[in-house]
Protein backbone atom coordinates (compact mmCIF):
# COMPACT_ATOMS: atom_id res chain seq x y z
CA UNK A 1 0.00 0.00 0.00
CA UNK A 2 1.44 3.36 -0.91
CA UNK A 3 1.86 6.23 1.55
CA UNK A 4 -1.00 8.28 0.13
CA UNK A 5 -3.52 5.44 0.46
CA UNK A 6 -2.37 4.77 4.02
CA UNK A 7 -2.88 8.44 4.89
CA UNK A 8 -6.41 8.36 3.45
CA UNK A 9 -7.25 5.29 5.53
CA UNK A 10 -5.83 6.73 8.73
CA UNK A 11 -7.76 9.96 8.16
CA UNK A 12 -11.06 8.13 7.56
CA UNK A 13 -10.56 6.01 10.65
CA UNK A 14 -9.59 8.99 12.79
CA UNK A 15 -12.64 10.97 11.71
CA UNK A 16 -15.06 8.08 12.20
CA UNK A 17 -13.77 7.13 15.66
CA UNK A 18 -12.72 10.45 17.10
CA UNK A 19 -9.18 9.10 17.28
CA UNK A 20 -7.55 12.50 17.13
CA UNK A 21 -8.01 12.92 20.88
CA UNK A 22 -8.60 9.39 22.12
CA UNK A 23 -6.21 7.10 20.27
CA UNK A 24 -4.84 4.30 22.53
CA UNK A 25 -1.30 5.48 21.75
CA UNK A 26 -2.09 9.08 22.71
CA UNK A 27 -1.24 10.26 26.23
CA UNK A 28 -4.83 11.34 26.89
CA UNK A 29 -6.32 7.90 26.13
CA UNK A 30 -8.17 6.16 28.92
CA UNK A 31 -8.32 2.65 27.51
CA UNK A 32 -10.73 0.99 25.14
CA UNK A 33 -14.29 2.05 24.58
CA UNK A 34 -17.24 0.12 25.88
CA UNK A 35 -18.99 0.94 22.59
CA UNK A 36 -20.08 -2.23 20.90
CA UNK A 37 -20.07 -2.55 17.20
CA UNK A 38 -18.22 -2.98 14.01
CA UNK A 39 -17.68 -0.20 11.48
CA UNK A 40 -17.73 -1.06 7.78
CA UNK A 41 -16.01 1.80 5.91
CA UNK A 42 -16.47 1.90 2.14
CA UNK A 43 -14.77 4.34 -0.25
CA UNK A 44 -15.81 4.70 -3.90
CA UNK A 45 -13.94 6.01 -6.91
CA UNK A 46 -16.33 6.26 -9.83
CA UNK A 47 -15.44 5.80 -13.48
CA UNK A 48 -14.94 9.04 -15.37
CA UNK A 49 -17.92 8.11 -17.56
CA UNK A 50 -20.32 7.96 -14.58
CA UNK A 51 -22.81 10.80 -14.89
CA UNK A 52 -23.95 12.89 -11.91
CA UNK A 53 -27.39 11.28 -12.25
CA UNK A 54 -25.91 7.77 -12.10
CA UNK A 55 -23.84 8.71 -9.05
CA UNK A 56 -26.91 10.19 -7.33
CA UNK A 57 -28.88 7.00 -8.03
CA UNK A 58 -26.08 4.99 -6.39
CA UNK A 59 -25.99 7.33 -3.38
CA UNK A 60 -29.74 6.93 -2.91
CA UNK A 61 -29.57 3.16 -3.32
CA UNK A 62 -26.78 2.82 -0.74
CA UNK A 63 -28.67 5.04 1.72
CA UNK A 64 -31.84 2.96 1.21
CA UNK A 65 -30.03 -0.15 2.49
CA UNK A 66 -30.36 1.17 6.05
CA UNK A 67 -34.13 0.62 5.88
CA UNK A 68 -33.89 -2.65 3.93
CA UNK A 69 -31.24 -4.56 5.87
CA UNK A 70 -32.22 -5.04 9.49
CA UNK A 71 -28.68 -5.66 10.82
CA UNK A 72 -27.57 -2.11 9.96
CA UNK A 73 -27.51 -0.14 13.21
CA UNK A 74 -26.28 3.18 11.84
CA UNK A 75 -25.35 4.67 8.49
CA UNK A 76 -23.35 7.77 7.57
CA UNK A 77 -21.95 9.02 4.31
CA UNK A 78 -20.45 12.00 2.63
CA UNK A 79 -18.31 13.19 -0.23
CA UNK A 80 -14.69 14.25 -0.06
CA UNK A 81 -14.08 17.83 1.01
CA UNK A 82 -10.35 17.37 1.64
CA UNK A 83 -7.86 20.03 0.65
CA UNK A 84 -4.68 17.94 0.70
CA UNK A 85 -5.20 16.27 -2.67
CA UNK A 86 -4.61 12.80 -1.23
CA UNK A 87 -7.99 11.29 -2.14
CA UNK A 88 -6.56 9.34 -5.12
CA UNK A 89 -9.87 9.87 -6.93
CA UNK A 90 -12.05 8.45 -4.15
CA UNK A 91 -15.01 10.77 -3.79
CA UNK A 92 -17.50 8.99 -1.54
CA UNK A 93 -17.20 7.55 1.96
CA UNK A 94 -19.90 5.40 3.57
CA UNK A 95 -19.75 4.12 7.14
CA UNK A 96 -22.12 1.30 8.06
CA UNK A 97 -22.32 0.25 11.70
CA UNK A 98 -23.25 -3.25 12.83
CA UNK A 99 -23.62 -4.70 16.34
CA UNK A 100 -20.66 -6.94 15.58
CA UNK A 101 -19.13 -9.30 13.07
CA UNK A 102 -22.30 -11.40 12.86
CA UNK A 103 -24.23 -8.37 11.58
CA UNK A 104 -21.62 -7.66 8.94
CA UNK A 105 -21.56 -11.32 7.97
CA UNK A 106 -25.34 -11.28 7.49
CA UNK A 107 -25.17 -8.01 5.52
CA UNK A 108 -22.60 -9.05 2.92
CA UNK A 109 -24.68 -11.84 1.29
CA UNK A 110 -28.02 -10.09 1.92
CA UNK A 111 -30.10 -9.92 -1.31
CA UNK A 112 -30.51 -6.13 -1.01
CA UNK A 113 -26.75 -5.65 -0.66
CA UNK A 114 -26.15 -7.94 -3.64
CA UNK A 115 -28.68 -5.99 -5.73
CA UNK A 116 -26.92 -2.75 -4.78
CA UNK A 117 -23.61 -4.24 -5.91
CA UNK A 118 -25.08 -5.01 -9.32
CA UNK A 119 -26.32 -1.42 -9.66
CA UNK A 120 -22.96 -0.02 -8.57
CA UNK A 121 -20.64 -2.30 -10.54
CA UNK A 122 -20.82 -0.75 -14.01
CA UNK A 123 -20.00 2.72 -12.64
CA UNK A 124 -17.26 1.83 -10.18
CA UNK A 125 -13.58 2.31 -10.93
CA UNK A 126 -12.25 1.36 -7.47
CA UNK A 127 -13.57 0.47 -4.05
CA UNK A 128 -11.76 0.30 -0.73
CA UNK A 129 -13.34 -1.42 2.27
CA UNK A 130 -12.10 -1.57 5.84
CA UNK A 131 -13.91 -3.09 8.80
CA UNK A 132 -12.83 -2.18 12.33
CA UNK A 133 -13.94 -2.35 15.92
CA UNK A 134 -13.94 1.13 17.47
CA UNK A 135 -11.43 1.78 20.22
CA UNK A 136 -10.87 4.78 22.42
Domains and CATH numbers, the chain: 3-132 (3.30.70.100)
Q: Give the pLDDT of residue 136.
A: 84
Please give the average per-residue pLDDT across 30-49, as a whole number. Answer: 80
Residue-wise pLDDT for 71-121, tens only, equals 999 999 999 999 999 999 999 999 999 999 999 999 999 999 999 999 999
Q: What is the pTM of this model?
A: 0.76
What's the pLDDT score for residue 24?
44
Tens digit of pLDDT for each residue in 42-67? 999 999 999 999 999 999 999 999 99
Q: Please, are residues 80 and 33 in contact by the beta-carbon 8 Å criterion?
A: no
Amino acid sequence: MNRGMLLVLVTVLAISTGCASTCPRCPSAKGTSAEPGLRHVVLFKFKDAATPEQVRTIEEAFCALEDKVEVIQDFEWGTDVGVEGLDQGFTHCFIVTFAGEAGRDAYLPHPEHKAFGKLLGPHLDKVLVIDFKPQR
